[in-house]
Chain A
Amino acid sequence: MLKVAIVGCGKIADAHAAQVQRISGCEIVAVCDREPLMARQLADRFPIKACYSDLQTLLVEAQPDVVHITTPPESHFDLAGICLEAGSHVYVEKPFAICEPQVQALIRLANERGLKVTAGHDDQFSHVAQRLRAAVGSGFLGDKIVHMESYYGYELSETGYAGALLGDKNHWVRRLPGKLLHNIISHGIARIAEYLTDDDPRVTAQGFSSQFLRERGENEIIDELRVLIADKSGVTANFVFSSQMRPSLHLFRIYGNRNSMILDQDQETLIKLRGAKYKSYAEKFLPPVNLAKQHLGNLGTNLRHFWARDFQMKFGMKCLIESFYRSIEEDAPVPIPYREILLTARIMDEIFSQLNAESQPSATEQKLLEPPPAAMAVVHR
């Protein structure tokens, strides 16, 4: 029986506790939060035997095999380090750490200790993401990936997260190098990182505060981001983060030299686009029929998963956790290759470095950009 502990008892810890409890062969033996009341509320609801407000005490007394770190990102590095030093495998919520050097240090430490780590990129383990991976693996795209587009939407609302963030100048999100983006974009970047072949791609980022934020006197937070990524082998990718686009998309398009695919995370649909064209008017009539057929197929697949009680909103997280535990028990490869976690962190570092280097647009750029959004950064590496 794998002994599991959760450190950090906020919102995402609920999802971890719920998914871990669905997996056989493991037990949550303890939870920890520096605020004892928060630890207690999680332990009461799930229910879990022990709760702590000190991580060291938890590690000594509960001796967990795996620790899930679900605290705000700036504490990930220190807490993961402590857990690895104590001999526990570690699942760290996204973003894995604040910067790539921290990611490298944790992976190095894990390797030295014969332990495993993983990052909470659970979107990549949803049913639809697994179908896309299988199709790519089967060569559907052709022998080369040409381009990718990753869209990640995030709705800011006064009553929710934005309300808390905008109202609190000391909110922990503001202390992250990439602020709001730092806490959110890793899902969308990790999708691209999985299919890049080069470990040091060129990154060009442009970001600004939306009108929604500027009207509320907020120029520090960037909530609109456009990124171009190009690796040395010629694979390119666009990443778009937006708080204002409607619908708020979680979409991934991947184009090969033979065919392409579109993954919609929200609708859990995968559409395959045929590279070859039909002749003459057939191109105007047959593809819509084919698309309709595929959408119906997606509906059927989703209904089958639902009927089988296998379509929980956090299915991807369960699958990732299950795969991670299996890799520990069977000493098999980790579900997310370390290269991918490192590459995600490297791309994010580059984005934030560019945005922070040029947080104020020059006079020339102001003229070029109509209307001139505040806190705009336009940098080409």
Chain B
Amino acid sequence: MSASNKSNFILGPDDLVLITGAAGFIGKRVVRSLLNRGVRRIRCFVRNSTPPSKLQDLRSQAGMAELDVFRGNLLSPDDCRVATKGVSVVIHLAAGRGEKSFPDAFMNSVVTTRNLLEACLQHGGIKRFVNVSSFAVYSNTHKPHSNLLDEECPMEIRPEIRGDAYSFAKRRQDDIVMQYGRNRGVPHVLIRPGVVYGPGNVAIHGRVGIDTFGIFLHLGGSNRIPFTYVDNCADAIALAALKPAIEGEVFNVVDDDLPTSRHFLKQYKREVRRFRSIYVPKVLSYMLCSLWEKYSVWSQGQLPPVFNRSRWNAAWRHTLYSNAKLKDLLQWQPAVSTHEGLRRYFEAARAMHEHA
């Protein structure tokens, strides 16, 4: 770690940082961001199935730093114990993504997090546990500041009724980290990114709309999309791991100059590919979600409860976002502007579309 950073960061020169999900979309950028900030010892926790090419990408970034790769399974307490040995800071990025089953998502998010926390406590000496969470944990209702979704927005009380396994698991994951902080004294920071985008994740986010019914239903309308470009998000995570005096804090991560859903969709169609979409006004989408929810209950699950008022509030309600706390306490600034981020995103999406 460089001399100028020593006084600003909580890590000493020989302190070791463990990153779970290090070979993933965000993880590899977090590694780079840490290295750029002078961190000299990093351990990357990757799955057994991670292809060697991805590890080569990681190793090629290391330069003079010590970067070792630990292959394992976070569901194994033994693997967690070995991986956390001698570690000062844990950045926990790995999570059960894309799973429709609640138990699977829970197991791969909550049980794994508990295993890591227990392992940290067994070794002692943990300076910080950075848990990478999501906007999916917020209810986006009863907010203290009108339409503004900031760190004070209440979390979903019954995340299971949203019908989204990922939201449920992330909410419970945050709970368990906070419990370990409160009851077992684990120093922790919660990072909640909005929609992380960039080359490598070029799907159109559900906040813009859905194509479940054969035609793209545009549901976002004039809503701002809480985008954060993947490199900017990685910087925020790295700073949350390094900055002093932020224990117990929660940080939302969104970029500046967020585009509206309508603007994004128009640009996507122009830059990537043309397709038909229908705009569904908010009143109508809320009514449809409400009807679907009622029918799902009445029919005892004949239709799964995937559309409901809770999801509408979280994904399609008109909302404003803030990154003031991030800028204030972590001195974070988005290195990539939204204009440039979207240009790179559309370029990658176009290349993928042309390859398909």
Contact = CB atoms under 8 A, between A and B. Distances in A.
A22 interface: yes
A309 B298 contact: yes
Contact of A311 (B73, B107, B302): B302
Interface stretch (B97-105, B128-136, B323-331): B97-105
Interface string A6-23: 000111011000100010
B300 A309 contact: yes
A11 B100 CA distance: 10
B160 A45 contact: yes
A9 B103 contact: yes
Contacts of B48: 167-169
Contacts of A170: 73
A312 B301 contact: yes
A14 B111 contact: no
Interface in B100-117: 101-104, 106-107, 110-111, 114
Contacts of B301: 18, 312
A41 B110 contact: yes
B32 interface: no
Interface in B65-85: 73
Contacts of A44: 160
A13 B102 CA distance: 10
Given A167-B49, A168-B49, A312-B301, A38 B106 contact: yes
B73 A168 contact: yes
A42 B106 CA distance: 10
B172 interface: yes
Contact of B101 (A11, A18, A169): A11
A211 B110 CA distance: 35
A37 interface: yes
B103 A38 contact: yes
Contacts of A14: 101-103
B56 interface: no
B49 A38 contact: no
A145 to B, nearest CB: 34
Nearest to B176: A37
A41 B172 contact: yes
Contacts, number: 53
A35 B118 CA distance: 14
A13 B298 contact: no
A159 B103 contact: no
A88 to B, nearest CB: 23
A42 B102 CA distance: 9
A306 B302 contact: yes
A44 B49 CA distance: 33
A312 to B, nearest CB: 5
Most buried by B among A11, A22, A38: A11
Given A168-B48, A168-B73, A159 B110 contact: no
A163 interface: yes
B212 interface: no
A166 interface: yes
B299 interface: yes
Interface in A32-63: 35, 37-38, 41-42, 44-45
Nearest to B102: A14
B167 to A, nearest CB: 13
A167 B301 CA distance: 33
A306 B298 CA distance: 12
A11 B103 contact: yes
B107 A38 contact: yes
B47 interface: yes
A42 B110 contact: no
Given A14-B102, A312-B301, 13 more contacts: A10-B103, A11-B104, A18-B301, A22-B300, A38-B103, A41-B103, A41-B110, A41-B172, A159-B98, A167-B48, A309-B300, A309-B302, A311-B302
27 contacts: A9-B103, A10-B103, A10-B107, A11-B103, A13-B103, A14-B101, A14-B102, A14-B103, A22-B300, A35-B107, A35-B111, A37-B111, A37-B114, A38-B106, A41-B110, A44-B160, A45-B102, A45-B160, A159-B98, A166-B49, A167-B49, A169-B48, A170-B73, A309-B299, A309-B300, A309-B302, A312-B299
Top-3 shortest CB links A-B: A167-B49, A309-B299, A11-B101
